[in-house]
Amino acid sequence: MSKSGLIPLWTDSDVNSFYSYFTDRAEDKIFQMLSAAGERYIEVARKSGSYKDHTGNLRSSVGYMIFRDGKRVADNFEKSQNGTDRQTGVTKARRLAKKIALEVGTGWVLILTAGMEYAARVEALGYDVATSGTIQSEEYLRETSKNLFDKLAKRGY
């Protein structure tokens, strides 16, 4: 019993355990959401790209990386099945994602890439390199986040 006559329901250790448990669950959910958004991006951008990729580098540069406090925790980059080179695209996309992550620093970061330097020029010519994939990914994150926060609000959090 404490000096005030109140009996604590939980020890400090219990509170720390609860906090750790809920923090871990939140981190897992954030990672799942970012992974699913990245997968949605590449599903659309790799398969629906409306351009002819002669070397395979542009399609190979389409991918994503997830960082947590500057450390890579997941990625998805694949060489295109078509083309004469393909590896250059993967290499440049990875390098670009790592550079961006260094600039962002802390927290969770999902980086979607079309990592060849001419990707924007191809888009400007009217071809879809990353736009549709990015839109799909953003819509997924908005919808999933809203659903998650709505559930938390219903539970009184």
Tens-level pLDDT at each residue, the chain (157 residues): 556 677 777 788 877 777 777 888 889 999 999 999 999 999 999 988 778 888 999 999 999 999 999 999 999 999 998 888 889 999 999 999 999 999 998 999 999 999 999 999 999 999 999 999 999 999 999 999 999 888 888 888 7
Specify whether the CB–CB gap between 127 and 35 falls below 8 A.
Answer: no
Domain ranges of the chain: 30-152
Specify whether the CB–CB gap between 55 and 118 falls below 8 A.
Answer: no
pTM: predicted TM-score of the whole model, two decimal places: 0.85
Q: Give the pLDDT confidence of 112-129 residue by residue, as tens digits.
A: 999 999 999 999 999 999
Contacts of 59 (CB under 8 A, 6+ apart): 46, 49, 53, 80, 82, 83, 89
Beta-strand pair 71-76/108-114: unpaired
Q: For the chain, give the longest Cα–Cα distance.
A: 78
Rounded CA-CA distance 105/71 in Å is: 9
**In this structure, which amino acid lies at residue 58?**
L
Q: Give the pLDDT confidence of 133-146 residue by residue, as tens digits.
A: 999 999 999 999 99
